Amino acid sequence: MNRERIESLYYKTYNYNTENIEIFYGDMGDSSSLNRIIRKCKPDEIYNLAAQSHVGVSFKIPEYTCDVVGLGVVRILDALKDFTIKTKFYQASSSEMFGNSSNQIQNEVTPFLPSSPYGCAKAFAYYMTRVYREAYNMFACNGILFNHESPRRGENFVTRKITLSLARIKLGLQEKLFLGNLDAKRDWGYAKDYVEAMWLILQNDKADDFVIATNETHTVREFAEKAAKLLDFDIEWQGEGINEKGIDSNTGKIIIEVIPKFYRPLDVNFLLGDSSKAKKELNWHPKVNFNELIEIMVNADLENVKKINYMKSFNE
């Protein structure tokens, strides 16, 4: 079981005192394990963040992605439907459901047009959450979360790939950072702020759906440029499309290259969220802005790389 990201919490806070935290084996593809856990734990709240969450990878394993991301949610909802306890259910819905439907700011009434197997599976799960809420009067909610990042982000997602690679380049452990679509625009927030929003959604008086976003959008290129600047690189871009290169003007070295391998068969070009409903009804707003987020991630990765001579190859 991979529990690297919660290991410190488990150890530091509870010193492996299993009376406080208990971990169960379960699988989104296995209803019997989900049923068993729910019956044993009788949870007040469930936050479903389980997924094959990499959009690029979902093109390579579409059936598996749809099973765990889409049907997995039905398995939980159906287990909760006839359960004696009124468990509140949070579904991690995603801005990927909007896909390429709009190049205007997106809110709770913007139509979905998912552009990946992952986006389709998330849209299915979103609608099933609503259906169970309305049909069975369940407290089931969707948080439609735009990209949220932190030093704990998986290394094959673009923000972390950039901060980790640039830190390695800075310390002489890697020569270049290879990327795909630099023009994609994302609304990137800080994961810690978004976790607070998830919790607030379930503390609300009524079950409802909310967009959680920063209301700002930036390109991948801009993220890379700003991360590089924090490490004293000064990126100048040359060329276009797959011939584009990022050169450090201090040394004249190419440190960023675009390669076709990292392009998706279909990409989402523009995501920008309007979280005014969450602000009004949950009193939620993001505390960490784009520049601060990049700084947090760059500093963390510089420390990581110094500590453990980080060796890494990127598949996505």
Which residues within the stretch 213-232 sit at the binding site for ligand F7E (CB under 6 A)? 220
Can residue 147 be called a binding residue for ligand F7E (CB under 6 A)? yes
Active site residue 249: no
Q: How far is the CB of 98 from ligand F7E (least distance, A)?
A: 10
Per the listing, tokens 């990209």 go with 147
Write the binding mask 181 to 210 for ligand F7E: x where contact by CB under 6 A, - elsewhere: x--x-x------------------------
Strands (E), 217-265: 218-219, 235-238, 245-248, 253-258
Are 98 and 271 in contact by the 8 Å Cβ rule? The answer is: yes
Write the binding mask 39 to 78 for ligand F7E: x where contact by CB under 6 A, - elsewhere: --------------x-xx----------------------
Which segment (157-165, 227-235, 246-254, 283-291) binds ligand F7E by CB under 6 A?
157-165
**Distance of alpha carbon 206 from alpha carbon 216, whole angstroms:** 28
Are 90 and 143 in contact by the 8 Å Cβ rule? The answer is: yes
Return the residue nearest ligand F7E (CB atom): 184
Cα-based angle 23, 28, 30 (whole degrees, multiple of 5) = 95
Per the listing, tokens 């040394």 go with 251
Task: Produce one character per residue of 223-234: b if its CB has 16 or more CB atoms within 10 Å, e if not.
Answer: bbbbbbebbebe
Q: How far is the CB of 238 from ligand F7E (least distance, A)?
A: 18
Can residue 115 be called a binding residue for ligand F7E (CB under 6 A)? no
Catalog residues that contact ligand F7E under the rule CB under 6 A. Answer: 53, 55-56, 94-96, 146-147, 156-159, 161, 179-181, 184, 186, 220, 262, 264, 267, 316
